[in-house]
Amino acid sequence: ASTSGKWVNRISIRNIVHDGAKMTGTSYKVPCHPVAPGEKVKEEDMCIIESMPVKSLITYPKSGAILPSGKKLNIRGHAWAGELNVSKVSYSIDFGATWSDCVLEKPVNRLAWQHFSASIGFPKTGYYEVWARATDSNGVSQPMLLPGWNPKGYLNNACHRIAIKVA
């Protein structure tokens, strides 16, 4: 599975599991069943990643930005959902208790990342985290926490967040 489908220029179909370079052992595989962090997983208990989960990233501003009180924060970012479309992106400034919709642009092609933006007001001065959460065309949203441990850290699609200080 790839988030860079736009680079595909050829597809070969084989009747065996891909055994080429960097595709053996635990590469591009996750445990077939949930495991405890740090637990060793046998190769036969690993499953190949077949699709990418919905994910979003806030790309502006950088985490740690300071915003003058009374000014709105403009955020921008990208979202994608593997072979699906992103149907919406939301943001939260109260640790996921409430969510507001971002403006979501249409993708330039079926596998392209989608750009999102929002203008956010804060109720008072202090520390905030701005969280982004994308939802795919099947109605599946990003989890707020890491969905499960795996040896290589694959498929981490937990909500992205940035720290903001309103002063």
Domains of the chain: 55-166 (2.60.40.650)
CA distance 90 to 96: 10
Question: Is pLDDT of 38 > 70?
Answer: yes
Sequence-ordered list of residues with C-beta below 8 angstroms from that of 41, at least 6 positions apart, any chain: 26, 31, 35, 150, 151
Question: Is pLDDT of 88 > 60?
Answer: yes
By DSSP bridging, strand 160-166 and strand 65-67 are parallel
Sequence-ordered list of residues with C-beta below 8 angstroms from that of 115, at least 6 positions apart, any chain: 76, 77, 78, 104, 105
Read off the amino acid at residue 114: Q
pTM for the predicted model, two decimal places:
0.84
Question: Is pLDDT of 105 > 80?
Answer: yes
Angle at 33 between CA 151 and CA 28, to 5 degrees: 40
Mean pLDDT of 48-72: 96
By DSSP bridging, strand 114-120 and strand 73-80 are antiparallel
| Encoded tokens for 24 | 């053996």
What would you report as the CA-atom Rg of the chain, rounded to the nearest whole angstrom? 19
